[in-house]
Structure formats: C-alpha cells, structure tokens
Amino acid sequence: MGVAPLTERDLMKQVTITDVRAFVLEQTGSGGDYHDREKGHWLVDTLIANPMSSYPEYKQSRTSFGINVMKSIVVEVEASDGTVGISAGQGGVPACYMIEKHFKRFLIGQDVHKLNKFWDQMYRASRYYGGKGIPLWAISAVDIALWDLLGLLRQEPVYQMIGGATRDQIELYCTGIRPDIAQQAGFIGGKMPLAHGPSDRREGLKANVKQFQEMRERVGPDFLLMADCWMALDLSYAVELAYALRDLDLYWLEEVLLPDDFDGHKLLKDRVPWMRWTTGEHEYTRYGFRKLIESRSVDILQPDVMWCGGLTELLRISSMAAAYDIPVVPHGSGAYSYHFVVTQPHCPFCEYLNTSPDCKSFPPVFGNMFTNEQAPVNGTIFPSDEPGWGLKLNRDHLNLIRPFNEEI
C-alpha cells in the first residue's frame, strides 16, 4: 500500500523559522517612527502641548527634547521555504538588540504558526526589564512580521485570517493641522494638536479656544473635530478646557493625562461626564488597558498596534473592550490598523495620520518605505487583498543597517 502524498496542511506544518533580522532605518521621512521627520514638518515643529512644555527650552519643537531619537526599524522573519515576513517598527538600535540578542531564540527552529506562544515567551522573558516602552515596541515589530509571514505562507491577507471584513470600506478621520483641507478630501473628521498646556496659564487657554473656534467656523457644525492633548494636561486644566470648548461640540478630547494616571482618568469622567475622553496611544498590553476598561474611565480606547504588543495583543485588548461595549479606534499604524479595524464591529472608524509636511496632501503613512502602500481615497480605505499585510519593502530606496548579526 503506497504512502499518501503530503497535503498542503502537512507541508505547512513542516515550515519553521530559520532567521530573524532587525534593521535600523537610517533616514528621515519614512518608516515606523512617526516623529523622525525633516525640520519644518508639522509633526515636530508645530507648537504642540506635551509633557515637556513646562520647560521653555524644550517647548517650541518636540525634536528639542528628543522625540525623534529612537529611529524606525524593519524586522524580517524568514521561514525554511525562503518566505520572508516583514514589519515596520520603532525603537532603533535598542529594539534591534532585544530582537536579535534576546527574542530571536524563541523563534528559531519553531513552527511558524505558534504566534501566541512566541508572544507569551517574549513578554515573560523581558518582564524583568520591560512591560512598556521599547521592549513592547520590539515585541510588536516581531509579532507584526510573524503575521505577515503567516499570511504569505497561507496566501491570505491578514484581515481574512482574523475573521474577515465587517464592512465594505473604512471611514477615516485625519490627524494633522488642517482639518478643513481633510474635510474637502472626504474625511469624516479631523484631529488637531492642542498648542498650549497648563504652564501657559490663562492666555494659553484662551489661545487654545481661539484655535478650535476658528477651525470650527471653517468646517461647520457637522464635521467631527477632535483635540489631541498628548499627555500635556493635569486634571484641573483638562476640566477647565472641556468647559471652555463645550460650545464647539468637539467629538473628543484625547490623551489629556499621563497614561499611568488611572485614578485621574476616572475623576475626569466623573467630573465631565458629557465629554468623550479617549486614551491608549501610550498604554501597553491588556494589563495596562484592563483598569481603564473595567473602571469605564474612558469612552474610546486608542491602542497603537506597533507599540501595544502587536496584532496578537491588540486582538486581546479589543476583545476586552468589546465585552464592555467600549469602541476601539487605533492610533496610527497605517495598513496594520486598517486590517484590524475592518474586522471589528466595535471599531467605528480609523485614524489616518497625515505625514505630509503641511497637511495639504494625503500620502501613504509610512512614506516611501513600501512600494505599494495604499493612500486614502475620498477619506476612505480598504486593506489590501494581497497576502499578509500586502506591503512590499522598497529596498532600493531605504538605507537599512543591521547593527547586530551574530548567531545566538
């Protein structure tokens, strides 16, 4: 009796991971570090309230305090059949070190399907020095590359692998300094950065109100208008700001407090229940989001898939939020967020981070990092049907440096 031929499923089981490579992107204007931009770009040289605004020497530009020092990274995970999954990320040389010197050992020689196991081992093994920040950026980059690899092997887009589309298109709001131009381009809303924080006192508060009054006059009453406060405020100022802006009907106030101030978020919701409060961009893993969710301190959660732990962890965070009927609107991350949002009924729309210098055009989020990254059309988008994330690295135009290349 002959031996039955191997099925495609059997062959997939035999595919293992043979290499993990981490590169630093040594150029500005492209990649996963949103803030690594050329001088004069709105993301770095617009007056934006931030946790360092109380120091005059670091107030005018966020690059002055080093917001762009971490650098973009690219991660490649190669399988035994030669297939390579890729991801964009952030964290520069430190993240590359963690990936190549620490996390790589958990992947080499392993079945490509074991994403939950890989995530758990990377997280537990780095817990003594991690939990937030760069270690989670590194884990996120590896996880995103693994999802790309699995999609390429299965010849399926990521959104199909996690449940399939729940709608025909994704509506987008645009983050930048020109919501009025975003409105003309078909976006459903626009989010502007707040210019002044508590250290600017009454004059700063008046300037903030004037900024949003003028934009509301431009876009009219029905366009969604939001304010990004980027961790710059304290509780009393946030309450005062909310009341000062009440007549302008802002859709939300975002990230007004430092992410660790769980009690502050609860007090904020208690004191100003009529305002939508959002946060999560700088929070990490389901453990960080759990208290925000259980206390119902915020109205909308905004995890970033490239920071919070990758898609594997974002799906867990999203499931927790869904159990409490809390919407999830991910922060940034371009195609990685689009593949996620289109599958989630409780994600009403998605953010498009405008990476053009003056917000007068709407380029792909990652610049020229990929040859085929999609840009919004009439303020909407649908994720690529190409396998994995559907992104092809633009190698000929990228200066990629691999700082660590040693066998473990």
Is there a contact between 233 and 257 (Cβ–Cβ < 8 Å)? yes
Q: Is 331 a catalytic residue?
A: yes
HSE, side-chain direction, 13 A CA sphere, residue 89: 36
The answer to whether the beta carbons of residues 175 and 353 sit under 8 Å apart is yes
Cα 211 from chain centroid?
A: 26
- Residue type (1 letter), 301: L
Contact 172, 364 (CB under 8 A): no
Active-site residue (options: 331, 339, 346, 397): 331
Q: Using DSSP, state whether 252 is helix, strand or coil.
A: strand
Residues 6+ apart with CB under 8 A from 121: 106
CB 227 within 8 A of CB 212: yes
| Inter-residue contact 22 to 402 (CB < 8 Å) | yes
Cα separation of 174 and 120, whole Å?
Answer: 34
Residues carrying an active site annotation: 331
